[in-house]
Structure formats: C-alpha cells, structure tokens
C-alpha cells in the first residue's frame, strides 16, 4: 500500500448537517487494500448512528479511477483474518450491505472514471448510482482471472439489469461504458463528465432538504419488495475466497503482474483488454 495510512485514505467530508461525502484517495490508482475495510466500516457505522445524516455520497479523488480492484499484492490471509461485523458478514460485505440496506441514510455513488471490481460492487451496493459518460466505465472482470465477484455484485446486478444482461457483464468480464450501463439500469444517470458533480450535489442537497422520516420510510418500503440479500452474498464471498488461493487464479494474476498490474500504465487503464489476453 502506498501513501498515507488507511484512515487518511478514506475521508468523511462534511457538506451539510444532513449530507456527507465519503471520499477515496489512495494514490496512484485507488486500489482497495484489505486494511481499508476497517476505517470504511467505522465511517459507515458513524454515519448510521448520526441522527442528522440521511444523504451520503461516495466518490474518489484519483484522476481516472473512482475505485479500482482489491490489492492482489496483499496476502490472502489478510483478507481471511478480518473479523465479521455485527450482522455476521465480514467487513467488506458488511459495508456493502449497509449501502442499500442501511435504515438511517440514503447512499449515492458518484463514479467519475473507472469503477472496477470493488468500485463496481460499491456502486451496485448504493441506493443510487451516477457516473461520468465520456471517461467512465464499469467492470466486473473477476471471471477473467478465475474468480467470482464476492461482495454481492451478482445478486444486485441481476436485480438491476435482469439475468441475461447480468451474465453478459459478469461472464464477459469486459468494460461497460456508462451510456450502456445507463441503458441496462446498472447506473441511474450518466451525465457528461463536466455535469456529474453538479448533478449529484444537487440531488443530495435536495434529498437533505426533505423530511428524514419520509425519505427513510420510502427506502424501507421499497426494500421490502426484494428478498434479503444476505443469503445470496454469503456464497459469493465464500466462493471468491476459495478461488483466490487456487493455482489457476494465482497463475492468471501473476501473468497480469508481469505485464504491469498494480502500476500506472496500459494494463490498469485497459485492464479488461489484458485480462482477455492472458488466457489465449
């Protein structure tokens, strides 16, 4: 991990008493380290306990990357050893669970740039998703490396896009342009890059001006239309962890590392292309 401590790389920023922003600032690529799970979980818990907050925006500061993949340079046991949270879900999945299931606030993902792997899963876990049109893509490329998404992406994506389109995204393991993601229902809106900040800020401020009880009761009742997510997320995570330590997956990850994975350059900016090459 590069740069400052995990707690400084994920910041909670005040916009108004009812509207806060969670910002990812992990140079140079916004890669998600296992040890980011704890401060992110703490931030989400703090927001959930604040009676004044009911609008939370997730965004990133690294040019070109909202939030990238997890840290494959970390030891697998660093992920395995993280303790479960209060619902029994391990911390990354707990944080994602809070995104759409949190009873005390509404979350919006503002994805300027690439949202891959963890970034796509965090976006899917939010109540609403907006992304930049010209320079933004979504990508769930785990299958291309011999993995499966592990934090609820399969359950959520199927609900948003339908089974066929979800399988196209998941099994194709390719980048999805935001205009296509908007068509599929993967994101709510895909405004031009220069309009994204203004659109999300206006939406969050508008929500923050409404009555909190009406907002949260509406979210609660809308959530009742879907079955609980926990039963679907648990096998995703278990399968991800089992595949992560497998020789086939490790061999594919090493091939990517040899090409420049985890470094600024062509592999990270065209990751889906390079993943499509390693099995040829």
How many Å apart are CA 90 and CA 79, to the nearest integer? 9
Is the Cβ–Cβ distance between 96 and 154 less than 8 Å? no
Helical ranges in 14-109 per DSSP H: 37-49, 76-80, 91-101
> Does residue 142 carry a catalytic annotation?
yes
The 8-class DSSP code of residue 79 comes to: H
Q: Is the alpha carbon torsion for 10, 141, 159, 235 positive or negative?
A: negative
Number of H helices, E strands in the chain: 14, 9
CB 118 within 8 A of CB 67: yes
Identify the active-site residue in 121, 175, 182, 236: 121
Question: Which residue, 131, 3, 9, 5, is CA-closest to 66?
Answer: 131
Specify the residue for token string 């389109």.
165
Cβ atoms of 126 and 192 within 8 Å: the answer is: no
Say how many C-beta atoms besides its own lie within 10 A of residue 102's C-beta: 22
Question: Which helix (H) or strand (E) covers residue 138, if one does?
Answer: strand 137-139
Cβ(107)–Cβ(99) below 8 Å: yes
Among 142, 175, 182, 268, the one annotated catalytic: 142
CA dist., res. 49 & res. 86, Å (int): 14
Q: At what angle do helices 153-161 and 118-125 cross, to 10 degrees?
A: 60
Residue 121 is a catalytic residue = yes
State the Cα angle at 48 between 150 and 198, rounded to 5°: 85
Report, as residue numbers or ranges, the catalytic residues: 121, 142
């Amino acid at each position: 991990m590069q740069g400052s401590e995990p707690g400084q790389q994920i910041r909670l920023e005040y916009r108004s008493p009812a509207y806060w922003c969670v910002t990812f600032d992990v140079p140079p690529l916004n890669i998600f380290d296992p040890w980011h799970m704890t401060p992110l979980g703490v931030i989400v818990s703090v927001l959930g306990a604040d009676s004044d907050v009911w609008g939370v925006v997730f965004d990133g500061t690294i040019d070109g990357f909202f939030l990238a993949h997890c840290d494959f340079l970390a030891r697998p046991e660093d992920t395995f050893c993280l303790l479960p949270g209060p619902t029994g879900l391990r911390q990354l999945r707990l944080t994602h669970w809070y995104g759409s299931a949190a009873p005390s606030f509404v979350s919006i993902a503002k994805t300027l740039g690439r949202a891959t792997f963890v970034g796509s899963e965090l976006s899917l876990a939010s109540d609403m998703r907006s992304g930049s049109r010209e320079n933004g893509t979504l990508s769930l490329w785990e299958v291309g490396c011999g993995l499966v998404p592990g934090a609820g992406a399969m359950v959520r994506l199927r609900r948003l896009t339908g089974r066929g389109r979800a399988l196209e995204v998941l099994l194709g393991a390719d980048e999805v342009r935001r205009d296509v993601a908007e068509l599929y229902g993967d994101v709510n809106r895909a405004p031009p890059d220069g309009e994204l900040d203004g659109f999300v800020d206006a939406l969050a401020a508008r929500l923050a001006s409404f009555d909190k009880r009406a907002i949260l009761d509406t979210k609660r009742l809308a959530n009742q239309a879907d079955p609980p997510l926990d039963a679907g997320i648990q096998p995703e995570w278990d399968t991800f962890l089992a595949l992560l330590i497998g020789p086939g997956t490790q061999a594919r990850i090493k091939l990517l590392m040899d090409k420049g994975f985890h470094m600024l350059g062509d592999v990270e900016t065209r990751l889906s292309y390079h993943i499509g090459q390693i099995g040829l």
